[in-house]
Amino acid sequence: MTALCGTMASQAQIQTNAGVEYLQCMQKDMSTDFSDLANTYFLADSLVSFDTAKGEGLVEWKRYRLSPRQAFNLNGYWPVRMQMLDFPDAAYDNDPRLKLSLEFITPRTARIRMLTTPIEPKATDGESVMLCDAFKQRETSPGPSCRREEDSRSIRYSTDYGTIEIQKYPWRIVLKDAKGRVLTQTRHLIDNDSSQVKLLPFSFIKRGSDNSRSVNPVLTLAPGERIYGCGESFTSLNKVGQKVHLSVTDPQGPETDGQYKPVPFYFSNRGYGIFMHTSAPVTCDFGASYIGANRMFMGDELLDLFVFFGEPKDILDEYTNVTGKSPMLPLWSFGTWMSRITYFSQQEGLEIAKQLREHKIPSDVIHFDTGWFGVDWQCDYQFAKDRFENPVGMLRQLAKDGFHTCLWQLPYFTPKNRFFPEIVEKGLHVRNATGGMPYEDAVLDFSNPETVSWYQQKILGLLKQGVSTIKCDFGEAAPYNGFYHSGKGGLYEHNLYPLRYNKALWEAVEQQYPGNGIIWARSAWAGSQRYALHWGGDAATTNTGMLGDLRGGLSFGLSGFSFWSHDMGGFVTASPEDIYRRWLPFGFLSSHTRAHGAPPTEPWLISESFTEAFRECAEMKYKLMPYVYAQAKDCSERGLPMVRALLVEFPHDQGAWLVEDEYMFGSQMLVAPLLESGTGRDVYLPHGKWIDYQTGKVFEGGYQHIEAGRIPCVILVRDGSLIPHAPLAQRTDEIDWNKVEMKAYKADATKCSGLLFKPGDTKIQTIEQ
């Protein structure tokens, strides 16, 4: 017990002193650097000059230090003006005047950039892998016309959707909606005058240790304000009151505050959104340390913010116009994926396919996880010769039976891997200060074009044999102390690693199957939505694991990702039948559906009644495939999520902003999983009538207790919906699209409408009855 307590204490110390030491699995807390008494603090003070035609000017930053202060029973610190001791003093400015720029990209999107050094970075948007090609090409053209006004107090840029005001002194940036209501604004030092809490305002630091700089924009939080986004976060959807670390990590499951897929983007219920265009770690303190302030502690020395105006759908559309939209995925990918950790042989894979067909469980994909190599977990891109006698023949047989095949791999190579010497000899790995490796394993450096080419050739070798797609596992461990081919250090490359990894793999699949690119990835960063799709990681086989996955999927969808999946029943141990049974409808009513985890995951190995439950859920999705496919196409065009928080669809319903344990599946179906044992649950329904998908019973908007149907889940349809259904098929390529039926769900509605998009179509149809 003593040893255990000592370990826990040391871990707590590491967590609270984030700048001192990190375990590989831990997030970076950038906020600690902004309370270090050894650092110099520069506080944004006044606008010195500004050219409204060019959208450029200079901001004066006042130099401060943090001074300890005793006040009876507390010791704290206050910012105190400082005269520099830098030598030679003529070479530096005590209070530097540094560049600020502002431009509107579209009527709803503006960009604000600020420097913390007189030297402008050489990097251009063309080099940013976070920004999509369409945005990069579009940026060279003139921005939208906006109204520019200036008086003695401020400069204002306005469009029909909002205003950005730059106040001269005290310097502030103020965001206003189209009616002139202040949405948020930056904090200035004088805002502390009315409070005993002396909060650092909008500032940047110069570290006393090495003169490196990091910026800390600080915005106000209004009473009742709610913040959403930040990636696949497993904590409460509303981030106000939380401290969110945007640094890629392996949290070991969706039950902690760590993230496989952080995204430096969020939006507010007040009608604005922010994209922090950076790959450096960020800690967002959304009112956690001071309830009226949103403090973004950024590792980056450059501030590059995209600001969006509008409701959630507008903001998601604008954000994904900048970073890219999820591509439409192949029809087969929306079918059932059957997997476990792991199938070890050709015989086993073919037997699983046979059993799926014999048990009449509609399905389209067989996934081989870590065991298809000669040595389990030892990625060498070759089927084990003693267990896969004829892999090409196996792939052909599976394809004949209507199955696509997915294979697992990872980007780390142990010293015993046969490719390890080649990777080291060719310098394809991330390096340390000596040119060696930061740790024992060789970590592929995807910022190196030669590494990408080497890797893609290995992947293409598998795809050419008949493999349909590849699992893009791991990717969270790019060393912070590494040296990368890009010329950047680990502080900037760590978070980019998943994006580069996703991109390299997706492009290989797209090269082999043009127009059908798809991967199955765990880690991500801003822009990874262009390389779909992603799943929720290694969930516990508990109610908590199910809730964590649901929250993570909703938050991920609020961060620009259209497609997402999770391991039905959880991953870690064999799933208890009750949990697995309740998880099934949640899994089948997600964009993508996979059974995966510790065996048994196959329903016929659990019980006959469970097999029937599994089959019934699979049949439901396959009958709904025309709805799924049309909604997926709509999502890919508008940056919307398939697993959708109610607030996206009902932004004017205040209750919808509070819900985080139910969701819209597309735009017309509401799903409320049973997160605990039982036959029903309390559900919040937005205003209007709702029809039970299973029983046909009609419910009014508001809070209701609803019993689940035969499928253990509350599934409802919006009044006035046309939901396309297809005759049941055992595989997606056998769906008869000529027999699609538009089923009307109507209570008070006088007419019904729905979307239809068939394979081969170029445009979504809106059908009305």
> What residue type is 469 in one-letter code?
T
pLDDT band at 10 (very low <50, low <70, confident <90, very high): very low
Strand 593-595 relative to strand 567-568, pairing: parallel
Show the CA angle centred on residue 422, arms to residues 417 and 423, nearest 5°.
80
How far is CA 392 from its chain centroid? Answer: 35
Integer Cα distance of 164 and 108 in angstroms:
11
> What's the average model confidence in pLDDT over 367-377?
97
* Distance separating alpha carbons of residues 398 and 388, to the nearest angstrom: 14
What tens digit of pLDDT does each residue of 319-350 get? 999 999 999 999 999 999 999 999 999 999 99
- The predicted pLDDT at position 198 comes to 87
Tokens of 155: 């400069």
Which residue bears the tokens 């591509």? 327
Query: Could you read off the pLDDT of 392-406 as tens digits, one per residue?
Result: 999 999 999 999 999
Hey, is 354 helix, strand or coil? helix
Instruction: Tell me how long the chain is.
Output: 769
Binned at pLDDT 50, 70 and 90, residue 141 comes out as low
What pLDDT is attached to residue 21? 42
How many angstroms from the chain centroid is the CA of residue 651? 21
Percent of the chain with pLDDT over 70: 96
CB 174 within 8 A of CB 165: yes
Are 229 and 320 spatial neighbours (Cβ–Cβ below 8 Å)? no
Q: What is the pLDDT of residue 137?
A: 87
pLDDT tens string 290-315: 999 999 999 999 999 999 999 999 99
Which residues are CB-neighbours of 236 under 8 A, at least 6 positions away? 242, 551, 660
The per-residue pLDDT for range 533-561, each reduced to its tens digit, is 999 999 999 999 999 999 999 999 999 99
Per-residue 3-state assignment (H helix, E strand, C coil) for 433-451: CCCCCCCCCEEECCCCHHH
| Residue 22: pLDDT band with limits 50, 70, 90 | low
* pLDDT tens column, 645-682: 999 999 999 999 999 999 999 999 999 999 999 999 99
Regarding predicted confidence, which is higher, 410 or 439? 410
Q: What is the tens place of the pLDDT at every residue in 164-188?
A: 999 999 999 999 999 999 999 999 9
Which residue numbers are catalytic? 473, 476, 538
pLDDT tens column, 556-601:
999 999 999 999 999 999 999 999 999 999 999 999 999 999 999 9
Average pLDDT in the 462-489 region?
A: 96
* Residue 495 CB contacts under 8 Å (≥ 6 apart), including other chains: 246, 247, 248, 262, 279, 280, 281, 525
Q: Which helix (H) or strand (E) holds 358?
A: helix 346-358
| Distance in angstroms (rounded) separating the CA atoms of residues 331 and 274 | 33
Q: Which residues pair with 47 in a beta bridge?
A: 59
pLDDT (tens digit per residue) in 98-123? 999 999 999 999 999 999 999 888 76
Residue 484 has pLDDT above 90, yes or no: yes
Q: Are 321 and 136 in contact, with CB atoms under 8 Å apart?
A: no
User: Which residues, 6 or more positions from 56, have their beta carbon under 8 angstroms from its beta carbon?
Assistant: 50, 99, 100, 101
The model's confidence at residue 127, banded by pLDDT at 50, 70 and 90, is confident
pTM for the model stands at 0.96
Q: How confident is the model at residue 9 (pLDDT cuts 50, 70, 90)?
A: very low
